[in-house]
Structure formats: structure tokens, C-alpha cells
Structure 1
Amino acid sequence: MRRLNFTGAAIAIGMMAAPAIAQDWQPDKPINIIVPWAAGGSTDQVTRVVAPLLEEALGTEVVVVNQPGASGSIGTKAALDAPRDGYTWTANAIANNATYAVTGLLEDTTIDDYHIYLHVANVPVVSVNADAPYKDFGELLEAMKGSDVTVGTAGVNSSGGMALAAIKEGAGGELGARMITYDGGNPAVIAAASGEVVATTQLAVEQMEMIRAGRLRGLTVLSDSPLEVEGVDPIPPITNWLPEMHVAKDYFGVFIPMGAPEEVYDTVDRIWEEKIMNAPELQEYANSLGAVFDPSYGDAALERAMPVVIAEACARVDRGEAVIDPSEIGITCPSE
């Protein structure tokens, strides 16, 4: 894959503010960021934390637009189809934007279509309704061999959907658990908390408040180390039950489609470096909800995210979900 010079930014609902950082680009109208998932989910949450910081620096109104559907591909396409003038951005897990073409949800698109910025890495958690009988993940895993366990996710291409697929693959593909899809991570989590579904595999940041409130019980985290968050008992790693399972950090970020004036990216570059890389607001968000504060941009961001991009793209091939080979969009799968 060629060397890329990615940049990006996030925006949200807010008030006009005076610029705090010298810059070349002076936006003269509101900026929209399309979050292709329902309000309250992981992408929506973190975008609304980052947005005010960027809004203050840019000195213009910025607006979050939730446009869910088709595992995030509808809103993502809307961002790509908008005029390339720097005023329409999007946000997502980077593995989604990088692999939509592999699954056929979006044609002729790759991660090269964006300047990217990353802010946090997220981890999926397997949780069950508080009244579910399963004492630990081992018991749930055994029950998932049948078809009685329903799992709420935001769709096949969501973090929760990919987590469930990874668990099935890690367990040898012998699980009969049924996925029930919702318009976003927040509705999927609410469905599990209310008992509409038995479990959810959505991200920790989407579940943590329900876990703290005792409405969900976190049984395992898709990681090789426990998830420790203040006010919650440590959630054990999935490798306690599936020791050979490989897990990669699920990086989230904001993206400006290519084709805008270069000063847009140069300005956001500087803002990201000066405002986001050490933002206490983001650090507090991550620490309180079980995310990893790990901002980056440009080539460093791409390098950091490639393990999850490769893992997700190649897993699609292994599961027979790929419409095109990842090599066609510059992703090389490990040799068998």
C-alpha cells in the first residue's frame, strides 16, 4: 500500500466559538459530520466528545448528523457523495471504512478515499441480561451451541457483529446463536438489558453504564487481558476460554473524504496535534467507559490501525462473506 498522508477531524452539535489556534483554513459555514449509526452508540459518543474541541479551534458551528442503516454504509456513502469541499466528514471504526468494498456494501471504495484521524480504540464485551442464568462466559458459550441464545448487535458489519462472528470462528464455527440486528449499538445494548435478546457483543463504551447499573453482566472482553474500569468488577479476557483467539484493537476515528482543498487537511493536522493528542476530555471518556485513549493521525494512524483492518478484511474471506478479494483494495492477507 502506498504511503498516505491522512488527516481528518470530528464535529458535533455546538455553538460558534472564536478560533484558538492559528490556521490557514477559515471555514465560513457549518461543518457536518455524518455518523452512520444511531445516536448513543460508540461512534456517536466519542464524536460528540471530540467535536467541541475541534469546533472551538475551527471557530465555526459543527453538527453531528446520525444517518444509520446497512451496517453504516448508507451514511458513509452520503459522506463520500457530498461535495469534496471540506464541509462534510464522517466517523466510524476504521475497519468499516476500509472493508466496505470487501463485503459489497460499498463498491469502489478503500481507506485511500479518506484523510484519517484516530482517537480511541474500543473493545467488544460479551454481556448478558442481568436475569440470565449464565455464571460465566464458559456457560454461555456452551449454550450458544444451540439456537436459543439471541445476540443483539448493530449489524453484520458493526463491531458487535464482527465480534460475534469472531467468537463463532474461534469456537470452531459450531455455534448456533442467532444474531438480532438493530440500527446501532445503543439499541442493541438496550435490547439485551431489557431481555429482548439474551446477550450483546457490542463495545464496552456502549455497555458500561448498563453494566454499572446492574442491568447487564459483562462475562468476557475480546482481549488477551482483563478489562478494568472504575466501579465495575474486572471483566475476564476471552482467551481464558478461547486461548488461540487473536484479537486486534478496534480503532475509531474521524475521516475527511479526499478531494478537499489541501489547507483543510493542513489545518486539521495542526489542530489534532495541538488539541486532540493530549485532550483530557477524551482521556476521561476513555477511562470511564473502558476505551483506550490512543490518538494518532497520518501515516502513524494507518500503521496503528492496519492490524484490525487486515484482521477484519481477511476474516470476511475466511467466513465466505467477501465479495472481492482484499488484495484488490491493497490489503494483503497472511499466508495460510
Structure 2
Amino acid sequence: MLRRHLLAAGAAGIAAPATLRAQAAWRPDRPVTVIVPWAAGGSTDQMARIVATELEEAFGQRFVVVNQPGASGSIGTRNAMQAAKDGYTWAAGAAVDLGCYKVLGLLDTALADWHLFFTVANVNTVAANPGSGYRDFGQLLQALQARRDIAVATAGQSSAGRNMMEAIRAAAPNVNYRNAPYDGGNPAVLAAVAGETPVVAQLLVEMAEMIRGRRLIPLAVQADTPITLQGFGEIPSIKRWLPNIPTPLNYFGIWAPKGVPDNVIAAMTQVWETRVKDSQRLKDYAAARAAVFGPLHGQAAFDAAWIMVRQTAWLYFDGGSARVSPDTVGIQRL
């Protein structure tokens, strides 16, 4: 089922393809900024730098990735919102964050306020330091039910890892944990590798190399079925232990706020259809890290992300971390 559902700089003088020149009036005449609102090295940063390369080759202009972490991604996203709406500033990240900022009181924006361009969907994963004593998710689950102080590294309040832990808490009785927030997925993973925390919950793409190197033990993926990671093997589905836990796809990509000129969005759409949807770089990235290659844009992207936004917004509310009820900002329960 998971498989079904389914920019760092380059040479600035490359000529844009004839299809782009013919079909879209917009072509950037200076570098374009892509704000990654998380630390370097994490899932968003990895994805954005590959996309930047594709866009540089398509448009013949530099796409510069800038890391602006803080406040669960809302600082960098706010900067993209407040920039001139001329097509020269984009943001990157996970669509579920964009859709839940308002519920968390972090940023006054909604998923419908943005032009969405997705590349991959990532899988939430929980893993343990080899010295923690946890060898499968069942052992961790028992510990989470017996204790209240197990530190779990995540990338912050609205990160994939925190979302996964809250889903676990909602799906199982008496689960407690101590959230240990970091400025991005990569720092969170490295914290668990170093033993600062015994457990990390983040995206599989961020853990893949450490799992292959046997520096982390993957306990479970938040997916309907087990996931096979190249160079390691199969990681079990969390549904083995928690059959009713939701497993929505976590879409990542780039976006620009509504108000950007139509010809900018038309040009980006053209590139998504003629280049990104067949990008071998993104396909290789997804295959190596057990992500889902899923380039989407426009209404199709919104519809795909909306499922996880609805589930996660109410997870925040039920867990007590929401500032406002989701239904007051147009997010109904699934």
C-alpha cells in the first residue's frame, strides 16, 4: 500500500531547455533562494539540495539552499512568507508541518495558502542506540509503559519523530516519554548515536546510514508493511505491535506562498512535469533511503498531504499540545 500511494549550486550559465522557453514566460534572472527551516543534513536539507540541482539545470540559474532552523521549522517558513512574492524565495519541508503550524500557535498559515510541489514521501521510524538494551519495538513499548523518563530525540515539537511518538502514545495505553528536541533530524539522530538519548524517532532517510553502519538499531517503521532498507534488510511495521496506529504518508517538497505570479507557478509546474517527475537523482535518493518517490503538485499534492494534516492536527489537540482546536481553523477529524 505504501508503494502504491504513492535545490549546492551549479553553473549559472546553462541555457534553459527549449520546452521551458516556449511554454513559460518566467525565467529567473538572478539566484533563487530555497529556505530549509531545519539544520543541515536532515531529510529536508537532503531533498532540497537534490531539487536545487534539478531546478538549476532546468532554469539555467542558481537555486541556493539556505538553512534557517528554529521553532520547529516555523522561523524559516515565516521568512519565506514575508519575502517578496516574486518567485525568488521558496521554502522546503514536510507538508504536515505547514498544515499544522496554526494549530500549534507557531505561525498563522495553512496548507491552502501555498503552491505545493512534492518530491518524496518519507517514513517515520523509531530506532535505538545499541547500548540502550532495546532490540525490538515491543521491548521499547513495555519500557515506555513502565517509565515516564525515557528520552526520545526528535527534531522538535512538530517534527516527524514527535508526531510518531504522539501517535504511539495515542495508540497504546499508559505510554509516556520525555521529548528531547534538537534543531533538526540529523542532530537528533546523531544524539542517539552518541548516547545522549537512548532512542530517536525521526525519518528513515535521516537514519539510513547509521542503521547500515550498525550504529542504530531500527525498531519499527510507521508504515502499513515492513520496509526494506538497502544494505540492511527488513525493518518491521509498527502495526505488528499497534495494529490501529495510523500510517499516513509524510510528503516533502518545496512551496511558495499564494500571491506569487501565475507565470512563476506555471514555469515550476512545467519543470515538475517534464523533469522532476522522472528525476533519476530523486529516484536513486528514495531507493537508497527507503523513501517513496512521489512527485506531485497542485491539487493532487494538497489532497495527498491533507490526510496526514488532519490526522496530525487532531493528534496534537488530543495530546494537549495544540493552541487551538483544529476544527476552528478548518481541519476536521478523519
Deviations 1:144-195 (A, max 9, x none): 22134211000010111111111111112x2232111110000000000111
Match in the other structure for 2:3: none
- Which amino acid is 1:76 matched to? T
Deviations 1:178-223 (A, max 9, x none): 1111100000000001111001011000000000011001011111
2:10–2:57 CA contact under 8 A, matched in 1: no
- Which amino acid is 2:126 matched to? V
Work out the CA distance in 2 between the residues paired with 1:14 and 1:33: 14
Shift of 1:331: 1.9
Shift of 1:112: 2.0
Q: Secondary structure at the match of 2:29?
A: coil
Shift of 1:133: 1.2
Q: Larger helix proportion, structure 1 or 2? A: 2
Q: Secondary structure at the match of 1:201?
A: strand
RMSD: 1.2
Q: Secondary structure at the match of 1:91?
A: strand
- Which amino acid is 1:127 matched to? A
Match in the other structure for 1:206: 206
- Which amino acid is 1:333 matched to? R
Q: State which of 11, 20, 23 in structure 2 corresponds to 1:15.
A: 11
Shift of 1:260: 1.6
Moved over 6 A (4+): none
Deviations 1:12-41 (A, max 9, x none): 533312212323112111100110000000
Match in the other structure for 1:276: 276
Shift of 1:329: 3.1
Work out the CA distance in 2 between the residues paired with 1:86 and 1:293: 25
Match in the other structure for 1:147: 148
Work out the CA distance in 1 between the residues paired with 2:169 and 2:205: 22
Normalised by the size of structure 1, how large is the TM-score? 0.93
Deviations 1:46-75 (A, max 9, x none): 111111111111111110010000100111
Aligned pairs (5 A) from 1:161-310: 161-172=162-173, 174-310=174-310
- Which amino acid is 2:219 matched to? L
- Which amino acid is 1:167 matched to? I
Work out the CA distance in 2 between the residues paired with 1:267 and 1:12: 21
Work out the CA distance in 1 between the residues paired with 2:307 and 2:112: 16
- Which amino acid is 1:144 matched to? L
Work out the CA distance in 2 between the residues paired with 1:135 and 1:89: 41
Match in the other structure for 1:59: 60
1:118–1:295 CA contact under 8 A, matched in 2: yes
Q: Secondary structure at the match of 2:234?
A: coil
Work out the CA distance in 1 between the residues paired with 2:157 and 2:60: 38
Normalised by the size of structure 2, how large is the TM-score? 0.94
Match in the other structure for 1:4: none
Work out the CA distance in 2 between the residues paired with 1:301 and 1:117: 7
1:124–1:221 CA contact under 8 A, matched in 2: yes
| Matched pairs, number | 322
1:127–1:219 CA contact under 8 A, matched in 2: yes
Aligned pairs (5 A) from 1:56-95: 56-95=57-96
Q: Secondary structure at the match of 2:284?
A: helix
- Which amino acid is 1:308 matched to? M
- Which amino acid is 1:296 matched to? L
Give ranges in structure 1 of 5+ residues lacking alignment: 1-10
Work out the CA distance in 1 between the residues paired with 2:115 and 2:246: 28
